[in-house]
Amino acid sequence: MINSNLNSFRTFFYNSLNACHEHLDTLFDRTYGAFYQSNSQIFDTFFNRLRAFSSPFSDAKVSQITGRLFEEMFVIMFQLMNPM
Q: How far is CA 1 from the centre of its chain?
A: 31
Q: Is the pLDDT of residue 15 over 90?
A: yes
Measured from the Cβ of residue 68, the count of other Cβ atoms closer than 10 Å reads 15
User: Cα–Cα distances in Å, from 66 out to 8, 40, 53, 84?
Assistant: 25, 16, 12, 28
Residue-wise pLDDT for 41-54, tens only, equals: 999 999 999 999 88
d(C-alpha 8, C-alpha 47), whole Å: 20
Task: Answer yes or no: pTM beyond 0.85.
Answer: no
CA 31 to chain CA mean position, Å = 18
Is pLDDT above 90 for 74? Answer: yes
Residue type, 4: S
pLDDT at 57 over 90: no
